[in-house]
């Protein structure tokens, strides 16, 4: 990998296949140990290759956020969940067409979404699975009360083009140390127990109860109701997951290679990886830590990004990087960083390096 | 445009050609009135089509940040400036190859960059124009003293594969109201006058003295030394330039169309345009104003972005947008927003709408 690194132009994204496989295995082992299915969210990598590895590693299917991502992942997986409501007709029609090819599920939180999806499915004789999105604290999408959830479940149950498969929630609000997460999952558990009781009384299907996020992934068993989890970031990890305490730097599989392109200002070097490479996303658990971490120079701080420049404070480095030198950056938020790239270099052992496409990047809807 | 808007899927980027042409004309008129050449920075649009319009509108050439952008823009313009140092050999070789096809200039601030570029040019018999990058206050790249600049100018002058064409600076640190900018340009003028005097005594070429940024563009004549300016954002504009006072909302040519996909939380709607569409860039002049402005709902505030969701506080809207409704967002920073898209819809009058590629997006180096 070292030799190759010298050849690949910068800025560029590099993925270590061995770390990816280990991350995939670890999450699969956890899910399996707790009798949950694993349905990784592919928004993080948007790559057929990595999706295939997740399926080979024991995933029950894949999660996507967009129809375009679903269409790409349908090439490597025949059981897809779009954890995103399909409100507009265009999305609904594309999902329906895909449902003729693979098992397709959608999470939604409104009758309008259900109606439009049903119409699109019925029009071409497709059937689409539905999970009712319920909000258990994150406050973004999802129904707010059990009554609302049950009513929408009953509504979907009556739609000929739809098949009610269960419930979905997003536990992105649960983070931090295990003991703090335990309190959060305790609440989720109570809320879900109540909902599922009412759900059962209404005779609604609860084959799938889908939860999870990467920060909360390894505590999801505490909810005691999830049949499947949908972590995404775990496959690559980033400074958010490192500084959040969910993994170590050694678990970060995706790194940006950059070159020092200027060093005229005292105490500063400038790298060729700006906000069009790393994105302006701060590190959630440590917003003052700068825009990513330079692995070889932990004392350096990427204090400012412009579009193609990273300004790095190297005043605390005894031997700062010099002009022309290459460095390696672990991004703050790998999902948005990957989404910036058209390709990534995948390093699979000393002699196997491939330039792979970020297949599902920049697709419509 | 209205009918078409109903058809185009969301989230998507829409450009109003009439506004683009007006923005191009206005900047060309300003430059011409002050005897400066206009060399627009194409990082904002990354589109051959828009680059062609800028050339047709009187630009002397185009500016780029990356070699990939230069290779794309070489299809519509034969006089390119890469306002970015080419330190590594790979960049240098690609620039040299391009210099066999079009007039190619590079800004640089180190002997290493000059040596590597010279070697690449000499190897294939190309010649590359060089502007010495001097820092007059922005503090990112560029030489810090007149002596350093003159020494590097002399060094470049002795390189057979290079041709010293003058000086470049970036006035991104000058912003705000005209009277404040006047003070900034007064300093730039004194610094440049001193440098150019020393430059002349050393017998160095000063055919080009290149400056400018969009916020400072219309005051650049105050520097009284620039032969050309390189604004980028002006072609589309965004909330940065609106809230900075450099244009009005009517001058914003590029807007994101989004759909309300959830409205379950009181006082909030969720749009399908998250940080993978709008980016997390805050508005420089108004960091608390949210992630872009919803044109139809100026009282709404996009308070939080996740990857594919925008959470919008609509509690101050008398008639908030409803589920399924489409809205139009002017992004905070249009250059990074455009860089997220593979395509944009270009609306040129009532009946002429085209889906055009963001040609130079996501290219290596």
Closest CB to A66 among B308, B336, B343: B308
Cα Rg for chain A, rounded, in angstroms? 22
Task: State the distance between the two ends of chain B, measured CA to CA, in whole angstroms.
Answer: 36
Q: Using the beta-carbon criterion (under 8 Å), do A262 and B84 form an inter-chain contact?
A: no
pLDDT tens-digit series, residues A77-88: 999 999 999 999
- What is the complex's ipTM, to 2 decimals? 0.96
Chain A environment of B10 (Cβ under 8 Å)? 88, 365
Which pLDDT tens digit goes with each residue over B72-86? 999 999 999 999 999
- B133 CB neighbours in chain A (<8 A) are 262
pLDDT band at B6 (very low <50, low <70, confident <90, very high): low
CB proximity A361 to B under 8 Å: yes
Phi, psi at B103, each rounded to 5°: -70, 125
On whether any CB of chain A is under 8 Å from the CB of B356, the answer is: no
Burial A313-336 (b: 16+ CB within 10 A, else e): bbeebeebbebbbbbbbbbbbbbb
What is the spatial distance between Cα B207 and Cα B204, in angstroms, rounded to a whole number? 9
Nearest CA in chain A to B7: A90
C-alpha–C-alpha distance, residues B84 and B81, integer Å:
9
Contacts of B340 in chain A (CB under 8 A): 339-340, 362
Task: Flag if B275 and A262 touch (Cβ within 8 Å).
Answer: no
| Contact at CB, A141 and B335, closer than 8 angstroms | no
Chain B (72-131) residues lying within 8 Å, Cβ to Cβ, of chain A:
84-85, 87-88, 90-91, 109-110, 112-113
Phi, psi of A164 (to 5 degrees): -70, 120
What would the pLDDT profile of B208-252 be if each residue is shown by its tens digit? 999 988 888 899 999 999 999 999 999 999 999 999 999 999 999
Please report the pLDDT score of residue B2 as a whole number: 42
At B122-170, the pLDDT tens digits run: 999 999 999 999 999 999 999 999 999 999 999 999 999 999 999 999 9
Could you tell me if B287 lies within 8 Å of chain A, comparing CB atoms?
no
The owner of tokens 């259900």 is A114
Output the pTM of the full model: 0.96
pLDDT of residue A188: 95
SS3 A352: coil
Residue of A nearest to B11 (CA): A365
Contact B87 A323 (CB under 8 A): yes
Residue B28: half-sphere exposure toward Cβ, Cα within 13 Å: 17
> B263–A110: do the CB atoms touch at under 8 Å?
yes
| Angstroms from A33 CA to nearest CA on chain B | 30
Note the pLDDT tens digit of each residue in B55-108. 999 999 999 999 999 999 999 999 999 999 999 999 999 999 999 999 999 999
Residues within 8 A of A (CB atoms), B 309-328 only: 309, 311, 323-324
Report the run of H or E that residue B170 belongs to, with start and end. Answer: none
Is the CB of B143 inside 8 Å of chain A's CB atoms? yes
CB contact under 8 A, A265 and B140: yes
At A6, the pLDDT band (50, 70, 90 cuts) reads: low
Asked if the C-beta of A280 comes within 8 angstroms of chain B's C-beta atoms, the answer is yes
- Contacting residues of B for A279, CB less than 8 Å apart: 275, 279-280
Cβ–Cβ below 8 Å for A110 and B270: no
């Amino acid at each position: 990998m070292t030799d190759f690194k010298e050849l690949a132009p910068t800025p560029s994204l590099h993925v270590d296949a061995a770390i990816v496989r280990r991350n995939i295995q670890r999450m699969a082992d956890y899910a399996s140990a707790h009798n949950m299915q694993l349905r990784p969210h592919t928004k993080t990598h948007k790559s057929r290759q990595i999706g295939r590895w997740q399926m080979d590693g024991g995933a029950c299917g894949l999660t996507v956020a967009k129809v375009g991502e679903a269409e790409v992942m349908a090439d490597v997986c025949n059981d897809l969940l779009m954890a995103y409501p399909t409100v507009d007709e265009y999305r609904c029609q594309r999902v329906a067409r895909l449902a003729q090819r693979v098992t397709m599920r959608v999470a939604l939180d409104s009758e309008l979404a259900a109606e439009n999806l049903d119409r699109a499915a019925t029009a071409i004789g497709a059937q689409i699975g539905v999970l009712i999105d319920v909000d258990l604290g994150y406050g973004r999408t999802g129904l707010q009360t059990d009554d609302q959830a049950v009513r929408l479940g009953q509504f979907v149950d009556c739609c000929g083009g739809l098949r009610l498969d269960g419930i979905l929630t997003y536990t992105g609000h649960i983070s931090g140390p295990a003991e703090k997460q335990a309190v959060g999952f305790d609440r989720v558990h109570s809320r879900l127990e109540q909902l599922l009781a009412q759900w059962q009384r209404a005779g609604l299907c609860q084959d799938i109860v889908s939860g999870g996020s990467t920060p909360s992934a390894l505590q999801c068993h505490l909810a005691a109701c999830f049949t499947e989890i949908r972590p995404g970031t775990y496959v690559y990890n980033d400074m958010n997951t490192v500084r959040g305490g969910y993994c170590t730097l050694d678990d970060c599989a995706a790194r940006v290679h950059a070159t020092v392109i200027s060093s005229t200002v005292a105490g500063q070097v400038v790298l060729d990886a700006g906000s069009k490479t790393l994105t302006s996303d701060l590190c959630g658990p440590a917003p003052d830590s700068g825009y990513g971490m330079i692995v070889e120079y932990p004392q350096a701080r990427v204090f400012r990004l412009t579009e193609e420049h990273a300004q790095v404070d190297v005043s605390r480095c005894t031997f700062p990087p010099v002009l022309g030198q290459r460095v390696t950056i672990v991004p703050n938020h790998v999902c948005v960083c990957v989404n910036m790239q058209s390709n990534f270099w995948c390093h699979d052992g000393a002699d196997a390096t491939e330039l792979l496409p970020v297949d599902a990047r920049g697709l419509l809807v």
